[in-house]
Chains A and B, each alone.
Chain A
């Protein structure tokens, strides 16, 4: 069984695309080989900035011959039909067989496909893989039409076994396959011949190329850690950066440098962001001072001066960058200490969204909303409003202009410099959260108020101008904003009735664009459509909530049953209800109660439809004829005594527990009692009794919506 080695050697492949490319090459080639009838033992894909490699072990030397039987026309069919069959099979008439089929005699062809050597199949499969390769972005070069991520320079493709290696011949747009590759661009640029994967990997290593991304990552992590340790520092881990850097080098050489003293006063986030974004440096922290004091750069070359020139160059670039950063920081601090009014003024000229006005108009809306929400989250209204007014001012700072990802983080520093309280400063930092599913939810009351106000303003704003997410398009990240509200509310147990807030906010946006979006021209008429738009937005929240709760293991029908209840715009209440119902339905009593309830409800609904009346008159226990009937009356009384106060306290768990206890008496009642009794008075009384069951049970959720 031969082994197959493929290397596609090109100009530098973007680091971010390498992992996907490894997988794609492996899949395209192995799928193709298997489809063509070959088998293989194992396959491994590798990448460096300049090569994409696939090694396949124990590939079958040839595909098996296959013979395929095909049924043709009847022997008495016209000549044209026979000719067509001969053409399609590539056989002559004397190679066909006559066989008796159900009614008539029919031509049969046995088409034999001989086995094909692996070499032929590999050549075909590889060419097709190259031509159809799913690069996220690809390009042409020179005069060719072939597309690759960057110019493809050579193709190595060999099959090797004990007797030696042979090139699989192929030619893709003038690039012939061969058995040679090259080493490191600067340290070992000459080409060399390889005979197997082991030989290839070993020679590459001698030619200063570490083939395996994982090995390079490890070498970088290990080297960086050692350098930092020797310097009395700790590397700040960054997995994303590590992966990226390992995709930029074939022979990683970590080098450690110290940040010049003059810049050590910069906030740690600024140092880290600048070094990472601009120069792909790891940060190194001094465990004693807690400050970022060093950096680790990873070179792609070993030099006679042990990297001294490279380090000096990098330090020089770093110094220029950090000089800029310090200039921004010092200027920003000056503005901050003066109360940040310059930034507030600046934001009046910055458009948030053309139809929703400027950033300062937006901030005014958020501030008003934060004040409204504050009491519900335990924050001081004045403080929440004030925090909201300051939270986004750092958008005008020079530092955030340079590093947009530092928005909020800088806001906190500047708010503190302006003499604001920790609570207000933290709101500047935290009000964007939670951003992703792994981002923590703010818990400080002022932060929660501003974070909620920020997101609710965004959502109501875009709903007001009718720019809602569609399909995969969500340019303003409104789904994330809605999920953010959900997590903020649930995470902090906030009791917040969304509808009046949403409606009020939507009505307050009276821009021409908003009025036009709802086909209204009269100013102020936003009041006429606001409730409807608000309930549409609430439905959007409910959709996001379903997705969120589904991830927590709560079924969609359980949520639907709770959504059908009044007060469903209070998400905390809604989730409490859904959680209790889901819990109840896990028990046997809960499941069976559901059946009993549905049975009662069905009989009652049918009777009401037939009789054209509603049986909501209180049933009379004196009319009870059987023991089971009397027991049910008693059980309902007892349950109600527990459920009513529990519901008043929104203690759904207790209420549903009490409800579930009705299961046995309800089951017994249905077994023993005929509802449609001859005696109309008895019948009516029993229907009214069913109504009591329905009334008691449906106080918690609309159980008709629960499946099962």
Chain B
């Protein structure tokens, strides 16, 4: 294995943001477009259209980004050392998956200060499936000294469509990884910026209060009638946007509103997560709600496949 000369490596990062910055630099250096987080509430980095939609069709794609993610049921009022209802994922998606993706990934660990000669890195079978996105893939969870630090997946299907070519997806749970690298035991104690800065801020300085507020909101505050109503609205709007004829009379162009419709799918998914946290969805209803979101995701994937970005490249289309 060739040592990577382009990354600083070896030194231990001093802050959460330094880890993010190193990952950004590393993947930028490897040719990824460094995108910004999607501006909606999502449960995981995979929901970003840069992953879900762009993994469809034959056009090459390489992107990396931080995605704030929300899992309302994981709220612990900021008290649990490892659990948060709002946290950050780092997401890398490359299509087609390059043959050296494992090596590239290991290089990123080196870049954030993990000495691969000193730690025990393992690829442990983990098949990924997202029932809400109608997506699945095979891969591993990556263990560093017994701790899961990333999810590594080769997408096989998204929104019911076979992925051709296959995208390679890497997801890093940033807080957990950073805590491990910096040897911090409680997430709220982790330095967010440089601890030597004039105004040092910890993760807790920034998020302890919001974790409390959102925990209360998620478990007790959110109005369930409204959430149910909004779920129905998002579902109807998604369908309505996709029902438009592709020809736009104003511009005379073909404009399929795949992304706006997909935004409604994201909304529905988050509303469902909130309802789940409020404990108002029974076990049997759960499956039905997941099925409704999946139906939307599939329709959006179908629509995206009709668009310029999602269509197969001309040469790949059989005559």
Which residues of A approach B to under 8 Å, CB–CB?
Answer: 11-12, 14-16, 49, 137-144, 149-151, 153, 185-186, 189-190, 248-249, 279-281, 297, 299-301, 303-305, 309-310, 312-314, 316-318, 320, 323, 349-351, 354
Q: Are B146 and A300 in contact (CB under 8 A)?
A: no
Q: Contacts A297-B146, A351-B284 hold; do A142 and B120 have CB atoms under 8 A apart?
A: no
Indicate if B220 sits at the interface (CB-CB under 8 A): no
Q: What's the nearest-Cβ distance from chain B to residue A20, in Å?
A: 14
* Given A137-B138, A140-B166, A141-B154; A313-B147 close (CB under 8 Å): yes
- Looking at the assembled complex, report how far the CB atom of A243 sits from the nearest CB atom of chain B, in whole angstroms: 14
With contacts A313-B119, A318-B146 taken as known, whether A142 is within 8 angstroms of B125 at the C-beta atoms is: no
Residues from chain A with Cβ under 8 Å of B1 in the complex? 185-186, 189-190
Taking CB atoms, residues of chain A closer than 8 Å to B254 are none
Residues of A within 8 Å of B118, CB to CB, are 303-305, 309-310
What CA separation (Å) do A596 and B109 show in the bound complex? 85
**Structural contact, B146 and A143, CB atoms closer than 8 A:** no
Residues of B within 8 A of A281 (CB): 146
Contacts of A316 in B (CB 8 A): 145, 147, 180, 185
| One of B18-26, B96-104, B209-217, B226-234 at the interface | B96-104
Say whether B117 contacts A151, CB under 8 Å. Answer: no
- Please give the distance in Å from B170's CB to the nearest CB on chain A: 13
| B interface bracket (residues with beta carbon within 8 Å of A) | 35 or more
- Asked if A309 contacts B138 (CB within 8 A), the reply is no
- Among the listed A143, A150, A303, A313, which residue makes an inter-chain contact with B144, where contact means beta carbons less than 8 Å apart? A313
B residues 168-195 touching A (CB-CB < 8 Å)? 168, 180, 185
User: Contacts of A138 on B, CB cut-off 8 Å?
Assistant: 138
- Whether the pair B99, A303 counts as a contact (CB closer than 8 A) is no
Cα distance A277–B175 in the bound complex, in angstroms: 23
B→A interface (CB under 8 Å): 1, 81-82, 96-99, 102, 116-125, 127, 137-140, 144-147, 154, 156, 163-166, 168, 180, 185, 282-284
Residues of B near A304 (CB, < 8 A) are: 117-118
Identify which of A16, A301, A323 contacts B120 (C-beta below 8 A). Answer: A301
Q: Is the CB of A139 within 8 A of B166?
A: yes
Alpha-carbon separation in the docked complex, A305 to B98 (Å): 34
Q: Say whether, besides A140-B156, A351-B283, A279 and B82 are in contact (CB < 8 Å).
A: no
Contacts A150-B138, A309-B145 known; A320 to B82 CB distance under 8 Å?
yes
Q: Which residues of A contact B119 (CB under 8 A)?
A: 301, 303, 309-310, 313
Chain A residues in 8 Å Cβ range of B144:
313
In the A-B complex, the 3 residue pairs with the smallest Cβ-Cβ separation, listed nearest first, are A313-B145, A14-B125, A12-B123
Are A139 and B96 touching (Cβ within 8 A)? no
> Is B283's CB under 8 angstroms from A350's CB?
yes
Hey, which chain A residues are within 8 Å of B146, CB to CB?
279-281, 297, 313-314, 317-318
If the complex has contacts A15-B125, A49-B123, are A141 and B97 also in contact, measured as CB distance less than 8 A?
yes
Q: Which residues of B contact A280 (CB under 8 A)?
A: 146
Given A301-B120, A313-B147, A317-B146, decide whether A142 and B282 contact each other with a Cβ distance below 8 A.
no
**A103 to B: closest C-beta gap in Å:** 55
A280 CB, nearest partner CB in chain B, Å: 8
Complex alpha-carbon distance, A313 and B114, angstroms:
12
Asked whether A143 and B96 contact (CB < 8 A) given A313-B145, A313-B180, A351-B282, the answer is: yes
- Distance between Cα atoms of A143 and B312 in the complex (Å): 13
Complex contact A139–B138 (CB within 8 A)? yes
> Nearest CB to that of B163 among chain A residues?
A140
- A242 vs B135: C-alpha distance when bound (angstroms): 33
Q: How far is the CB of B3 from chain A (nearest CB, A)?
A: 11
CB-CB under 8 A for A139 and B145, given A49-B123, A189-B1, A301-B120 = no
CB-CB under 8 A from A297, the residues of chain B are: 146
| Chain B nearest Cβ from A526, distance in angstroms | 23
Q: Which of A15, A143, A349 contacts B165 (CB 8 A)?
A: A143
Q: Is the CB of A186 within 8 A of B117?
A: yes
Q: Is A151 within 8 A of B145, CB to CB?
A: no
What residues of A have a CB within 8 angstroms of the CB of B124 in the complex? 12, 248
